[in-house]
Amino acid sequence: MKENILFGTYTRNNSQGIYQAVLDSDTSQLSDPKLLISGIDNPTYLTTTSDNYLITVAVKHNQGGIAIYNLNDQNPVLVDENLTDGAAPCYVSFDQKRQLVFTANYHKGQVDVFKLNEQRHLTLCDTVQYSGNGPKDEQDGPHAHYADLTPDNKLVTIDLGSDQVHTYEVSNEGELTEIQVFKTPEGFGPRHITFSKDGQLAFLAGELSSEIAVLKYKNGQFNLIQIISTIPEDWSSHNGVAAIRISDDNRFLYVSNRGNNSIAVFSIANDGILTLIEITPTNGDFPRDFAINSTGKYLVVAHQNSTVASVFEINSKTGKLTMLQTDIPIPEGVCVHFVK
């Protein structure tokens, strides 16, 4: 089986845009990435729709926003873009059922909701502007870092700057109604979240504290169960947690450490309690993002600072990682997305 992977990047140095590679399960090899879309600055996060359209963060001149590309033709075609003055979002997701696009803007501290029509054009539906701050230097103001669906199709957003997780009801027209504001411990710096397949547990990545918070989830409400570290006890240098993913069988959790340059692997008990299994080096600098393929057998990680990607095999019984391939050239890689 062959699976297409898209890599979002910064374009500050050598990167020219969005890259594409192929993971071959028969050979357990990832091909060298090829440039898919050029002429777009800092496409740092992206996703795809079921009918093969690409939604990506985009920067042009002094404006930032999102762009839509049709990937069904031989060459990608720009369909629409929504750009405004200032910084671009850092996260984008898609609601297939309601045809909504959600973005989180770190620098503006806001979340936007767009409607996608049949022609794949964007219309802004709602905006939430956050406020507040936290005790750490990185928490000088609101920093929205995540906006995506819960398993029961509510919206969950994360503000790293104020240590808050928000949940909303979402109308078919893209209007938001707040359900809960969950507050983490001060300085936790929440970044991303992932859910168990039954939707009853959530695992929240604390970028600034290098911790994972285990949460019970029901009807838009979170309750804290556990907080556990992602780094070795003797690690004293800077570290920032980035990506977080769960195995399809709900048995293992994976988290990337930028600084320690590793992936922490945890086992998940039936009640959600995490136990550290191993902390595995990724053989690169600043593992900003990683993704697990559709079979759950392979994990692909991109490194922002060392311009390489690595491929690991996942042991289905133990959850442990084995390096299969490294030094795959991908410049300034910050997003890894398997096309479904």
- What's this model's pTM, rounded to 2 decimal places? 0.98
pLDDT digits (tens, 9 = 90+) for 138-185: 999 999 999 999 999 999 999 999 999 999 999 999 999 999 999 999
High-pLDDT (> 70) share of the chain, %: 100
Q: Are 24 and 2 in contact (CB under 8 A)?
A: yes
pLDDT digits (tens, 9 = 90+) for 134-151: 999 999 999 999 999 999
Domains by residue range for the chain, with CATH: 44-229 (2.130.10.10)
pLDDT (0 to 100) of residue 278: 98
- Which two three-digit tokens encode residue 186? 């001060």
Q: Are 68 and 77 in contact (CB under 8 A)?
A: no
Select from 66, 139, 150, 130 the least CA-distant residue to 103.
66
pLDDT (0 to 100) of residue 258: 98
Torsion 79-15-285-160 (CA) sign: negative
pLDDT (0 to 100) of residue 49: 97
Helical (H) or strand (E) element with 328: strand 321-329
Q: Are 244 and 230 in contact (CB under 8 A)?
A: no
pLDDT digits (tens, 9 = 90+) for 45-73: 999 999 999 999 999 989 999 999 999 99
- Reduced to 3 states (helix: H, G, I; strand: E, B; else coil), residue 121 is coil
Task: Return d(Cα 58, Cα 37) in angstroms, integer.
Answer: 11
Helical (H) or strand (E) element with 108: none
